[in-house]
Amino acid sequence: MTIYAYCHTTPQLPSAFDAKVHSVFNHAVNLSLQKTNHITTILKATDILYPGCLCLKETTRTFRDIFHPGQLVSYNSGKMILGETGERIDTSNAKLIDCKLAHLTISPSQYSLTIYEMLSALMQKHITHRFKNDSKLQIQLQIKLEYGLACLITAVIEQDNALALNAIRQLVALGMGLTPSGDDILVGFLAGLRTNQELIADHETFLQKFTSDVLLLLNHTNVISQQYLLHAVNGYFSTAIIALLTAISSGKSITSIEECAKKLLTIGHTSGVDILAGLFGALSILYKSHIISNKQFSIFNHWR
């Protein structure tokens, strides 16, 4: 049986590889490439796409019916063959969708107070129902995540690589789920940094060390999350992140921006909120002259 791939995203898959199925979920399958041990994901085509993925529009079966962990997969010239079942996935006509975050500019004047307040209110609404029981574990987690992000912001403003390394160390692999909250915050943060051209120009040395530190600490987290972090460092993000940043930088209406933010929030269980928190944190550096008091710092007021 041949399944025709609906689309794939950048960075593109190598033209030929052998892989093993790493993990299977209802709507996603992770493949572990044998030569590099990189993870690539096959997704059910939805409205949000991720970097380096292949998307199928299989409607009648779940991925659990098609794949199983340990299954061998080989890919060559647009055709993927699944071991044991011999099913094929044909990617030769798949649409290519770009997940590279273009060099956008968001200036302080574009990132208006209205947008800031809207995003803040949105996060507040969505985060309060995330922690159902105020267990000690959850409270500790919140504090660490908040502190880590605050350190990241300070480190960037003061161009302090040592502080940045500390912050990254604190956040990597912290939290529950396949992409732990700390990793998601880093991904969002990396996206936000890219839009501040002034910062990129002024902070070249700092940013170089910053990104290499993220790469150094990759193996502290699980292989699936590592992949998203790696893509983020190289400038590839989910279409939801790209849409939101594009909306802000091209001066769309507050309603449209809110729509984009809401879409981002739908990712995973808490991933969307965490990514937005990281993004929000990075964008707030645009107001670095205003970030003095703790009040503005408490991006996570709503977490309490």
Partner 1 sequence: MKTLQRLIPNLYRDSVSLMQLSEEIQSIEGITQASAIMASENNISLLLESGLLESSIEPHPNDLLIVVSGENSKLVEKAMETAEELLMERKDVVDSEAIQTTPLRSIQMSLEKDWEANLALISSPGTYAAAEALKAMSLGLHVLMFSDNVSYEDEVMLKKYSEKHDLLFMGPDCGTAIINGLPLGFANVVKQGNIGVVAAAGTGLQQVTSLIDRKGGGISQAIGTGGHDLSAKVGGITMRQGIRALAADSKTDVIVLISKPPSPSVMEIVLEEAEKAGKPVVINFIGADPEVISGNNLLGVPTLEAAAAAAVNLALGEKYETPRHDDSSDLKGLAENLVAGFIPGQAFIRGLFSGGTFCFEAMHLLGKNIGPVYSNIPINPDWMLKDVWNSYRHTAIDLGDDLFTQGRPHPMIDFRLRNERILQEAADPEVAVILLDIVLGYGSNMDPASEIIPAINKAHTLAKNSGRHLVFIASVCGTESDPQNLHQQEYSLREAGVTLTESNAQAAFLAADVINNIKG
Partner 2 sequence: MINKLFDEQLHVINIGLGSFADSITEAGGSVTNVDWKPPAEGSHDAGIKLAKTVNHPLIEAANKKAFSQFMGAQPNLVGVELAKNILPGLGEHTLLHAGPPIQWEQMCGPMKGAIIGAILLEGWAKTHREAEEFARSGDIFFAPCHHYGSVGPMTGIISPSMPVWVVRDEVNDHMTFSNMNEGLGKVLRFGANDQGVLERLAWMKEVLAPAMNAALKVLVQVELKPLIAQALHMGDECHNRNVAASSLLFKKLAIGLVRSHIPETQIKEVFDFIAGNDHFFLNISMAACKSMLDAAHGVTGSSLVTAMSRNGVEFGIRMSGTNGTWYTTPAPMVDGLFFSGYSKNDAAPDIGDSSITETAGIGGFAMAGAPAIVQFVGGTPKDAIAYTREMFHITQGINGSFTSPSLNFAGLPALIDARKVVDNGIEPVINTGIAHKDAGVGQVGAGVTHAPMACFIQAVNALSDTLSD
Residues in touch with partner 2 (CB under 8 A)? 26-27, 44, 59-60, 62, 129
Among 137, 162, 215, 216, binds partner 1 (CB under 8 A): 137
Decide if residue 272 touches partner 1 (CB under 8 A).
no
Q: Which is nearer to partner 2, 129 or 136 (CB)?
A: 129
Could you tell me which residues come within 8 angstroms of residue 176 by beta carbon, excluding any fewer than 6 positions away?
A: 270
Q: Contacts for 265-269 with beta carbons within 8 Å, 24 or more apart?
A: 265/122, 265/126, 266/48, 266/240, 267/48, 267/238, 267/240, 268/177, 268/178, 268/179, 269/130, 269/177
Smallest distance from partner 2 to CB 269, Å: 9
| CA quadruple 39, 45, 48, 52: dihedral sign | positive
Contact in structure between 151 and 142 (CB atoms under 8 Å): no
Say which entry of partner 1, partner 2, none residue 170 contacts (CB below 5 to 8 A, set by partner kind).
Answer: partner 1
Q: Which is nearer to partner 1, 181 or 196 (CB)?
A: 181
Lookup: tokens for 12: 């593109």
Decide if residue 219 touches partner 1 (CB under 8 A).
yes
Distance CA(287)–CA(215), nearest Å, equals: 28
Smallest distance from partner 2 to CB 59, Å: 6
Say which entry of partner 2, partner 1, none residue 128 contacts (CB below 5 to 8 A, set by partner kind).
Answer: partner 1
Is the link from the previous residue into 11 a cis peptide, with omega within 30 of 0?
Answer: yes
Q: Which is nearer to partner 2, 65 or 117 (CB)?
A: 65
**Residues found near partner 1 in the complex (CB under 8 A):** 22-23, 25, 30, 125-126, 128-129, 132-133, 135-137, 140-141, 144, 170-178, 180, 182, 219-224, 255, 262, 266, 268-270
